[in-house]
Amino acid sequence: MHGRPRKSATPVDENASALKAAKIRSLQSQFLENHHNHIYTKEALEINAKLIECNPEFMTAWNYRKLAFEHNISSQSESEKADSDHIKSIVDEELRVVENALRKNFKSYGAWHHRKWVLSKGNSSTERELRLLNLFQKQDTRNFHAWNYRRFIAGLKNISDEKELQFTTDMINDNFSNYSAWHNRSVLLSHLLEKKVEGYFPKEIFLKEEYEFVRNAVFTDPDDQSGWFYHLWLLDQTVKVDMPNLVSSWPPHGSEITKTTFPVILLFNEPVEGVNLHTVSVQVENDITKNTTWSPLSANKFKCGQAWLTHLTIPPGEFNSSKIFQVKISSEYPQGIISLNGVPCSRNWSFAFGVSVCHDVQPEGHSLRISMGEENFSTIDVNSNMMNFLKSNFDLATDYEQPTSSKWKSELIASEIDQYRELLSWAECKIGKLTLARLLMANDAMITDTAVAPNMTHVEEVLQLYSELMELDPTHYQCYKDEYSLVFLKQVTSSKESLMKYCCQYKESMSLNITGNVCLRFNSLSLSRMGSFERLLWVQSLDLSHNQLHSIEGLEALQLLSCLNLSHNKLVSFMALDPLRFMKSLRVLNISYNEIGAHTVDTRRYLCSSPLSHTLDYDKRFEEFATSDEKVVNFWDAYSVFSGLDIMQLDITGNAAVDERFVLFLVKLFPGLKWLDGEELH
Amino acid sequence: MGELAAEKHAKYILTVEKKKDDIESVLMEHLRINGAYWGLTTLDILGKLAAVDQETIISWVMSCQHESGGFGGNEGHDPHLLYTLSAIQILALFNKIDALDAEKVSTYISTLQNEDGSFSGDKWGEIDTRFSYVAICSLALLKQLDKINVEKAVKYIISCKNLDGGFGCTPGAESHAGQIFCCIGALAITGCLHYVDKDLLGWWLCERQVKSGGLNGRPEKLPDVCYSWWVLSSLIMIDRVHWIDKQKLVDFILDCQDKENGGISDRPDDAVDVFHTYFGVAGLSLLEYPGLKAIDPAYALPVDVIDRIFLH
């Protein structure tokens, strides 16, 4: 009961309402009897019409009218068939019943659909339908049923998109706080652009005018949301790169690695499908490798993903210890790699690196406990290998530069930045600040020439804007905080000098074959979200402890990762660890002091592989692990994420889900486990 | 503000279930099976499902089934996907899905899929992404998803995506929180949330929270308790629920209770009904209000019911 006041009924009211109920009940039973007995007489139709007028939501009542309509058309006499007025009168009667129902409830799904159905059978004039629409769209300018019906009529009667666009202009000029009209405008402009209609293609022609049009609205009342969403769409239309692109890869171009089996990672700017033997060529020395299998690092079944992985073993055949093998990975048929929208990758790319053959050192049988405490790191020597190591990941030219932007785009964004700076000089407006932050980031991204050195001109100002937003609009604090984290990480990872500040060198005494030499330490930075993975593919040891992360989405791209510290974060479930499923190199994991098991709602439940989302079949072997345990189902997610991993050291204490039974379950699950919560296992 | 009047709400639902003659009941008669689902799920979340006569309910639900396999909103009413899902959900609550001929019901549902992947609600051909959700959710609960072309069904839903990252009922139709729940729910169940721009949609959804703490369903509209379900469940499925102020929303929902006679309304001091009572209680469950059973954001059934179906 929407919008009806709560009050106790007076006896008079009750009496009236009881009478009305009895009347409707009697209409209902008469109608249902007619319906079940296929009676379509004039009287029966009148009873139905009365019922519909009382209750336009009664679906079966509308169905009956359609049956009656079909019956009456098919049982016409010859003379009636010849008489066009006869059919017209049947159609008109239906349109009249619909109109009455809509006057009672203009949100009735059944009524609007019945009208569409009748129009598909008979005719009504365009004027008549537009007149009806104008009536309802004036009464309720946001009625989405009416807007939907308007699009239907425009299609049916071939009303041009330009004419409909003018209608949205008029509606917005009447009252700019009409989100429905802004929405329809975006739909119509997309059509016009797609059809390359003169005056709307290429898009820079209309974008400038649209920016001006929407500015009038948001400057009039900056607190009204309607225009702002449209502005964001315009921004997206301006800067969007309409095609998938390789943004990062591992091993780095021009580098030299010493391993016989190693992963090759391709990271795209958006999820793609079609990475395979035919689209990507792998060349070792001068031979094209024919047996490479690429797999996406993602939970879906549709073979698509942002990061793709294969493993190479060099040399494929004979062993020659002194030789350095040259490996080249390149796009063979980039058009075969397509985005989820069906847009093909149209740029060629390639990268090459050397592999000096050596025996991979197997982790020793006994291992010391690995710790990421301060005492385990030595001071950084700027002349050490470490600088070279980072250098190889940052300084080498790659062959997959970002497309450079057009001049009109930069000018448009620059002028918008000026406009919104001006707005903020007199209005304290949260969406205005957010828009300015987005414009500044778009501006920086556009003048970035290559993926190697991202432009960071406005990053400080953007961070400042997000800080102000957190104070100005505390309701959405976490939204701004997440954005802040992402921009901050962009800044930190933008150059090797800035990243260097967060890198530490392990002491020689550590198990370097597991940790690698360098640990990237993003601990205690108050990060609520992790990002910039394209700059971090080389990372083997990562410390993310003492942050506010509740998700590690995207981390699966870091295929070299063997040590990961996530302690003291806000992970609420094992499902939140889903990316670990793909990280087969992981040996040391710290997830202690999170909130795993402390919540009844799991926000990662549908963003991971599971039988609930049909991305994974239920694994019956699971039951072997927890036989005779009533609560077996509670361990399912832990089993699902961990069962393919080979963890040697695990810290998990300080989570609600962890009790004695669970620890026993884990020990059974990880046969290779040597350290659990600081205790050595025997 | 105070606390959730759980006992009163349970009592209110049990009273409404028995009433058949007042004007509200008469006007609701055509969707009584939806009403039964809302009421029974609320009772389950409140831990009071044992208070109803299971046998009577199940035999009444089965009496709404047609020869075609579909269910009507009541005895003698025409079948429709909307009522078919409610029937399946009610049976799932009682762990009685086996009472159905899954083959027959899923055949009814699958024949309503159109060439473009969309679904008609019934044989009269109204098309809407609500029906895509209903079909996909029903078939998943029956473990019969392979009866339809899931890929086409997903493509159709994606074709309804808008400038704001949200979804409408047909391609080109405006985003609406209820419709977004349907599309996000269907994509969640089919493992296709990677098609969604979670940040864009998340921002639109979190901006549904207005000053009073309540949520509206579209920009510049009034808040309404029912969006506590549509918006919240969507935000949870795309992992952006931390972008709203949960405590303020809890307070808004509690403020819409009729503490004297039970039931929850759309806004403070409006008349209560079963629909809003369900969405209020389910919303509080999504907000982890103490003492309530957890509800699954995609299937709209208690988590233990869903885990029983999929994790055994």
Each residue's pLDDT tens digit, B259-270: 999 999 999 999
Spatial contact of A528 and A548, defined as CB atoms under 8 Å apart = yes
Check residue A201 and report its DSSP letter: B
pLDDT recorded at residue A397: 45
CA-nearest residue to B271 within chain A is A6
B19-74 residue pLDDT tens: 877 888 888 899 999 999 999 999 999 999 999 999 999 999 999 999 999 999 99
Contact between B191 and A614 using a beta-carbon 8 Å cutoff: yes
Residue A143: which residues within 8 A CB-CB, separation 6 or more? A106, A107, A136, A137, A180
CB within 8 Å of chain B, chain A residues 342-401: none
Nearest-neighbour CA in chain B from A422: distance (Å): 24
Contacts of A600 in chain B (CB under 8 A): 285, 288, 294, 303
Spatial contact of B237 and A513, defined as CB atoms under 8 Å apart = no
Helices and strands, number each (H, E), in chain B? 14, 0
Smallest Cβ–Cβ distance between B23 and the set A20, A301, A633 belongs to A20
Separation of alpha carbons A532 and A454, rounded Å: 11
Spatial contact of A528 and A549, defined as CB atoms under 8 Å apart = yes
Residue located via tokens 């197997």: A362
Question: CB-based contact (8 Å) between A299 and chain B?
Answer: yes
Separation of alpha carbons A493 and A496, rounded Å: 7
Beta-strand pair A563-565/A541-543 = parallel
The gap from C-alpha B81 to its chain's centroid, in whole angstroms, comes to 13
Contacts of A63 in chain B (CB under 8 A): 78, 122, 124
Nearest-neighbour CA in chain A from B57: distance (Å): 22
pLDDT recorded at residue A55: 94
Residue B252 exposure: Cα atoms within 13 Å on the Cβ side:
27
Check residue B230 and report its DSSP letter: H
Beta strands in A279-433 (DSSP E): 280-284, 287-288, 295-296, 304-313, 324-331, 338-339, 350-356, 377-378
pLDDT recorded at residue A392: 67
A626-654 residue pLDDT tens: 666 666 667 889 999 999 999 999 999 99
Contacts of A229 in chain B (CB under 8 A): 163-164, 204, 219
Neighbours of A100 (CB within 10 A): 14
Contact between A4 and B209 using a beta-carbon 8 Å cutoff: no
Give which of B208, B247, B263 is closest to B39, Cα–Cα: B263
Neighbours of A163 (CB within 10 A): 10
CB within 8 Å of chain B, chain A residues 392-451: none
CA-nearest residue to B208 within chain A is A225
Mark the ranges of chain A whose per-residue pLDDT is less than 50.
396-397, 399, 401
CA-nearest residue to A62 within chain B is B124
pLDDT recorded at residue A10: 78
Nearest-neighbour CA in chain A from B54: distance (Å): 26
The single-letter code of the amino acid at B44 is D
- Mutation test of the interface with chain A: which of B74, B120, B198, B239, choosing the one with the most A Cβ atoms within 10 A? B239
Question: CB-based contact (8 Å) between A674 and chain B?
Answer: no
Contacts of A142 in chain B (CB under 8 A): 218, 220-221
* CA distances to A446, A531, B83, B290 from A519, in Å: 32, 17, 57, 42
Smallest Cβ–Cβ distance between B191 and the set A3, A230, A300 belongs to A300
Nearest-neighbour CA in chain B from A60: distance (Å): 5
Helices marked H in A38-125 — which ranges? 42-54, 59-74, 78-82, 84-104, 109-121
Separation of alpha carbons A451 and A448, rounded Å: 7
Give which of A604, A593, A230, A220 is closest to B241, Cα–Cα: A604
| Axis-axis angle for helices A59-74, A84-104 (nearest 10) | 170
Read off the tokens for A603.
């926000």
At A651, give phi and psi (nearest 5°). -120, 125
Contact between A3 and B266 using a beta-carbon 8 Å cutoff: yes
pLDDT recorded at residue A108: 94
Nearest-neighbour CA in chain A from B50: distance (Å): 22
Contacts of A613 in chain B (CB under 8 A): 188-191, 193, 298
Biggest distance spanned by C-alpha atoms of chain A? 103
Q: Residue A327: beta bridge partners?
A: A284, A353
Spatial contact of A631 and A625, defined as CB atoms under 8 Å apart = no
Question: CB-based contact (8 Å) between A233 and chain B?
Answer: yes
Contacts of A271 in chain B (CB under 8 A): 194
Read off the tokens for B258.
């009729």
Contact between B298 and A109 using a beta-carbon 8 Å cutoff: no
Q: What is the mean pLDDT of each run of 10 residues along chain B (312 residues)?
A: 90 88 85 96 97 96 98 97 98 97 98 98 98 98 97 97 96 98 98 95 97 96 95 98 97 96 96 96 98 98 95 82
pLDDT recorded at residue A448: 60
Contacts of A551 in chain B (CB under 8 A): 239
